[in-house]
Structure 1
Amino acid sequence: MTECQLLQVATHCRTLIEEALSMSGIAVTTGLCLMACTLVQRAAALAGYAAVIRGGDGLEDGGLFLPHGRYGHYWCEVSSGGEHYVVDITADQFGCAPVIVRPAYAPDWPRYVPGDQVLVDSHVAELLEDYAKSAAQ
């Protein structure tokens, strides 16, 4: 998957998130980064690519780093042909572009610093469990 193709997938996911927010009367993506990552991860998998949800607390354990601060956040890291890309469809909550696709370890801003993966995976598992409970009701 090229960076351009990945941008198309990410933009489509962002459009789906915006439509869902609009139907719910919600105007901002604040607090929705983990949920959005599950969508990106699934879309990447359907396209045949590996995606891992990354994140950090913005303090001592990774996160999204900007010149004006550090933030707790989740994003996806998609792998293709030995390349790793950050895909973030909710960075606008921090003043960034609404869709970011970039090399995972690029030195410029914003900087995505993965935190404790075991902890991130546990947060993903909790969210997916909540999804399953909601669907069963």
Structure 2
Amino acid sequence: MSIAPPSNGELAPIATEARRFLEGVWPEWHRLRGRPLPDPLSIGTCQTSSLFLATVLREHGFNANVAQGNDPSKYEGYFHDGRWYGHAWVTCEGWIVDISADQFGCPPISIKPLDDPSYRTGHDTAYESAKRQRQTLANAAFESWRSTRSALS
């Protein structure tokens, strides 16, 4: 017996909950990087946010991974309004789940089929220290999210 993949409707509430939580975390991430608060707050957070979301989805029993494309000159990342942008998102059992698409003027949460041509995977070109910092921030956010949920139970 095979298990059906999740539907967009199953992923949307989890993505929405994760996004709402991160909206309270993003200001601190910007402060830690010495940046002023952007509008929208999701600007510059896609990789760390995607690491967080993938962990949340895995905790809900889904197979989720971070995907990204950071070199627009190689036609990778996210395509919007006629150009490519470096970006990160989550792939989850046949779906793209993007909780920071509003940085491009799109809806804040986007769930699309895995073969959507607006997303093209490439490579993470960041230094190892930046990758470690993103993972540390995502892990801390996840622990805070988990403890918040436990306190509400």
Question: Which residue is 2:60 aligned to?
Answer: 47
- What is the identity, as a one-letter code, of the residue corresponding to 1:127? R
Conservation of the 8 A alpha-carbon contact between 1:56 and 1:74 = yes
Higher strand content, 1 or 2: 1
- Displacement of 1:130 in angstroms is 6.5
Please state if 1:114 is matched with 2:121.
yes
Report the aligned-residue RMSD: 2.8
- What is the identity, as a one-letter code, of the residue corresponding to 2:7? T
Q: Which runs of 4+ in 1 moved over 4 A?
A: 22-25, 122-126, 129-132
Structure 1: gaps of 5 or more residues: 133-137
Distance across 1 between alignment mates of 2:58 and 2:45 = 20
Please state if 1:12 is matched with 2:17.
yes
Distance across 2 between alignment mates of 1:56 and 1:21 = 21
From 71, 84, 100, the counterpart of 1:90: 100
Please state if 1:35 is matched with 2:48.
yes
Aligned residue-pair number? 124
- What is the identity, as a one-letter code, of the residue corresponding to 1:77? T
TM-score under structure 2 normalisation? Answer: 0.69
Residues 18 and 130 of structure 1: CA distance in aligned 2, closer, same or farther (over 3 Å): closer
Give identity over the alignment, percent: 24
Structure 2: gaps of 5 or more residues: 1-5, 140-153
- What is the identity, as a one-letter code, of the residue corresponding to 1:102? K
Conservation of the 8 A alpha-carbon contact between 2:69 and 2:123 = yes
- Displacement of 1:126 in angstroms is 5.4
Conservation of the 8 A alpha-carbon contact between 1:62 and 1:115 = yes
TM-score under structure 1 normalisation? Answer: 0.76
Distance across 1 between alignment mates of 2:25 and 2:137 = 18
Distance across 1 between alignment mates of 2:9 and 2:138 = 31
